[in-house]
Amino acid sequence: MKRSLLPWLCFALALLAAPLVFPQSGSLSLLSQMGTMVLLCLSYNMLLGEGGMLSFGHAVYSGLGAFGAIHLMNRIGDGSLPFAFPITLVPLAGGVVGALCGVAFGYLTTRRAGTTFSMITLGLVELVSACALMFPELFGGEGGISGNRVVGEPVLGISYGPQLQVYYLIAAWLLVCAIAIHAIRHTPLGRILNAVRDNPERAAFIGYDPQRVRYLALILSAFFAGVSGGLSAINFEIVSAEYVGALRSGAILLFTFIGGAAYFYGPIIGGVVGVLFASLLSAYTQAWQFYLGAFFILIVMCLPGGLAKLVDDLARVLRARAMDAGLARLLAGRAAAGTLLLGGVVLATEMAYQLSLGSLADSGEGMAPVRLFGLDFDVHSVAAWGLSAALCAAGVAAIARWRAPWSAAWSRAWKRVEAAEQAGRESGAP
């Protein structure tokens, strides 16, 4: 009991302390975005990780929840509600809207499983986003619907005017929902969902209708997605048709998978990394989508467990005290080689983007140099391209050179990990 409580305490402390460590207004809004994205990825992983359902339309539920929340905020604002409704509970309304959409759409999508499910969700997201543009009264057309979160009397001095209060609202909802999502994994529904993911025929044979289990899981997941949508409606005070679109759905999928779908904390890593990609990197470079796509493919090909798998493996090696000097040296060498390769690829990509798309700005004359790590690189110079090629070659050569020793050292370490964990189980179990 104590061990299962500790990670939650750490998570709560991290949520509490984050704005104290990064108090600038820019980082505060970034943290708020991360909170909503992490919740969205956690809800998505109820489908992908727990249920094996690869949905391409998860943004539909969060987006429609956001629309519900913003309409509710506007009703609160113009006083047309017959009862008082605090802004603190608006995300709950978003969740209810999301769950209702889950009831409606999930009935259609969960009739089929596997790749067909994926294709149907893709059709669904197109249907909803096209409909969103068709009814401007409800969805605000291209411009979206704007609202105001500072409405009603402040409760206990909380008006949601300052961003810090919004952040803590998001953090509180994230913590509550994360605990709920974690708890659902251990209910009979969560267990049967895993069984349906792994072997639907056997789950059906012992008396559970796989279609029904998937449907229930989708409704629950849509609820949490709707909560996240309601939170982002409060955060941004505007919701547009992009919120229900295919691009956002794809981003959720990318982030969750990059984080790692097989671990509970994978989507948390994925949400944080994804927002960093989308917000920070897009401020520095035009090529951020290229990097995101390439990073995603790299993860799919080399690390199908996602970043969480990397964290988990390292933690297990450290806990079993299997990290000896040789392994650490090889690890550092691989990291250095990876950095060289990354530097070369980034340099080449930035120069290519500058050559191709930067020329639109200044029509090819006196093209601005690429500025990386405080150095200027001329995109037309052979030296810069040569440097990039040399960095790539050095990185690839180093990785290839250490490949055999690395896998030998790693499997040695892994044997020790397994032995240590086996011993731990035997001494721990009565």
Minimum CB–partner distance for residue 293 and other proteins (Å): 4
Closest CA to 266 of 383, 185, 351: 185
For residue 306, count other CB atoms closer than 10 A to its CB: 25
Contact by Cβ (8 Å): 30, 166: no
- Residue 281 binds to other proteins (criterion: CB under 8 A): no
88 DSSP 8-state letter: G
Task: Report if residue 407 touches other proteins, rule: CB under 8 A.
Answer: no
The CA distances from residue 81 to 85, 153, 177, 267, 321, in Å, are 8, 14, 27, 37, 61
- CB 396 → other proteins: shortest distance, Å? 15
**From 61, 67, 168, 257, residue interacting with other proteins (rule: CB under 8 A):** 257
For 63, residues 6+ apart whose C-beta sits below 8 A from its C-beta are 128, 132, 229, 239, 243, 244, 245, 248
How far apart are the C-alpha atoms of 354 and 363, rounded to whole Å? 12
Exactly one of 6, 9, 206, 360 binds other proteins (CB under 8 A); that residue is 360
Residue 358 CB, shortest distance to other proteins, in Å, is 11
The whole-angstrom separation of Cα 49 and Cα 263 is 8
Nearer to other proteins, 54 or 398 (CB): 54
The interface region with other proteins, picked from 141-149, 159-167, 290-298, 393-401 by CB under 8 A, is 290-298
The C-alpha atoms of residue 316 and residue 305 are separated, in whole angstroms, by 15
Segment contacting other proteins (CB under 8 A): 6-14, 232-240, 330-338, 349-357? 349-357
Q: Which residues contact 286 (CB under 8 A, 6 or more apart)?
A: 353, 357
CB of 305 to other proteins, least distance (A): 10
Lay out the site mask for other proteins across 301-330 (x = CB under 8 A, - = otherwise): x--x--------------------------
Among the listed residues 12, 127, 158, 323, the single contact to other proteins using CB under 8 A:
127
Q: Tell me if 95 sits within 8 A of 123, measured CB to CB.
A: no
User: What token pair was written down for 65?
Assistant: 């929840």
Residue closer to other proteins by CB (options 352, 372) is: 352
Nearest-approach distance from CB 386 to other proteins, in angstroms: 21
- 201 lies in the site for other proteins, by CB under 8 A: no
Considering only residues 17 to 56 of the shown chain, the ones binding other proteins according to CB under 8 A are 52, 54
294 in contact with other proteins (CB under 8 A): yes
**DSSP per-residue codes, 395-426:** HHHHHHHTHHHHHHHHHHHHHHHHHHHHHHHH
Residue 352 binds to other proteins (criterion: CB under 8 A): yes
Q: 116, 148, 187, 422: which one contacts other proteins (CB under 8 A)? A: 116
CA distance 321 to 316: 9
Count of residues that bind other proteins according to CB under 8 A = 46
Binding mask 54-83 for other proteins (x = CB under 8 A): x-----------------------------
* Distance between CA atoms of residues 40 and 61, nearest Å: 10
Q: Does 123 bind other proteins (CB under 8 A)?
A: yes
Neighbours of 181 (CB within 10 A): 21
Contacting positions for other proteins (CB under 8 A)? 52, 54, 108, 111-120, 122-127, 130-131, 134-135, 137-138, 246, 250, 253-254, 257, 287, 289-290, 292-294, 296-297, 300-301, 304, 352-353, 356-357, 360
